[in-house]
Chains A and B, each alone.
Chain A
């Protein structure tokens, strides 16, 4: 959409140049990371300019092969995946019913609106405020350096996404379908499970993607609560520089490996990003 008006050719060209500059700015870092990961280590800083692969240097997958053959690297990837899956499962299992209840039923003692904001306040809380109590609690429970600790923490921090986003979607679904089902003798749980939930499926997929991406990207708790066995990939990425000095080719490979999954998820659910990341305050 937008406003159609007559524009001069110059203005049009100027606009595309501007868009080009913005895209270059937005993509350059990722491009540079990918290119650096494909260069032979010796050529990391000797190839100049834009370092176009095939033209300026022969790309190689050597860095990637070396990186993925490191046991610690594979282990932290597995940890990241396990933590993301289970934290998301918990958040979705707890959050979707809560979102449904907030959309369909009226709570008296605490109003629905205030309950919603209460869930949201989780995302307001700076994580560093609770990292110390979590560290002490996990130490007492002997859960330091376990994936379980990270699963519990991350589920807590992504729960608001599941509650608030699905609440809005359920509100927008016509309630008549569920009412008709109730007339037909369908229980309230069945109305939720068989009718509302399938209708909300696209939103739920988006919620899952957002939860996985945020858990995957989480760093502070992973850094504080793990040391060896349960290290997630971002923590591995942060620790690798100490042991062998700065090796830009591996660093770039790891960075791209780290951001690959969330970036793919972002593109997959792009229609839901505005709504998801503003907690439904702005409809995309």
Chain B
């Protein structure tokens, strides 16, 4: 690496300027909004910390926060666990492996809104494919979208459908970078697959699992598209996740000040999560 050359600024300053203008400035603007009561068409009124105080008594906000936290915990745990299991299954000699792998990639890039609408056709209660299979096998059907619990499960299933392949893919890449010699030795000492997984494979692939966990946690807090298109937050407000609630507060009810407070609260939560992992992140970009 060379030092003290002018040209490096020519390379990097435009993008720094861009981020300052389009991320830092909106964030600061949003921070100032938290102190005002801003409504469309009316002059902004300074209200101090009143917007923050509103949080305490806003049962709708606590509802959406609870939904989101439970949702994030369950969906990320299941995605990473399933991703790990499928990666272990694929981490063996297998015919057609590269084709299977390519096919498993397809869900990852699917437009989330489109996934929600495909979900609407698949989970359709009267004659949709899932319920008609359930009908012929068990003689019962599930009220996917009209029951709060099942609506939540439907969103969960879609999210798991879309993101387990990502966890699988990354963890498989991690497994494949492990040196094989270790296994040759391990199989002389032990014949228990479980023991080998627990004592050798998992500790070595753990850094990769942690990266996957962090990335999925960050993304899951953002969940919006699938909920918007599949349930619209319903039935009632039973699946109104945090981002959807914030969006509605700001851009349906035009309560900009309070919505900014809600936004900052979400940011704070994500920052707490990132901070838990921060040392690991810094090591990666050393």
- Chain A residues in contact with chain B, CB under 8 A? 1-5, 15, 18-19, 22-23, 25-30, 32-33, 36, 45, 48, 51, 94-95, 97-98, 100-102, 104-108, 113, 115-120, 122-137, 152-153, 155-156, 159, 163, 188-189, 192, 213, 216-217, 219-220, 223-224, 234, 237-238, 241, 246, 248, 251-252, 254-256, 258-259, 262-263, 265-267, 270, 273-274, 277-278, 280-284
Contacts and interface: CB of A to CB of B under 8 A. Distances in A.
A283 B178 CA distance: 12
Nearest to B2: A105
B208 to A, nearest CB: 5
Contacts, number: 297
Interface of B: 1-3, 5, 7-8, 10-12, 14-16, 18-19, 22-23, 25-27, 29-30, 33, 86, 89-94, 100-115, 117-122, 124, 126-129, 132, 161, 165-166, 169-170, 173-174, 176-177, 180, 183, 187, 208, 211-212, 215, 218, 221-222, 224-225, 228-229, 242-243, 246-247, 250-251, 256, 259-260, 263-264, 266-267, 270-271, 274, 281-282, 284-286
Contacts of B102: 267, 270
Given A97-B15, A126-B267, A234 B243 contact: no
- Say what secondary structure dominates the interface of chain B: helix
Nearest to B175: A2
Given A33-B121, A117-B285, A132 B251 contact: yes
Given A188-B5, A282-B170, A129 B266 contact: yes
A19 B103 CA distance: 11
Contacts of B246: 128
Given A2-B93, A15-B92, A128-B224, A259 B115 contact: yes
Given A128-B246, A220-B224, A19 B100 contact: yes
B166 A32 contact: no
B27 A45 contact: no
A135 B228 CA distance: 19
A217 B222 CA distance: 14
B19 A119 contact: yes
Nearest to A237: B113
Given A33-B118, A132-B260, A258-B114, A4 B228 contact: no
The winner among B105, B129, B183, B242 for most chain A CB atoms within 10 A is: B129
Contacts of B120: 246, 248, 251
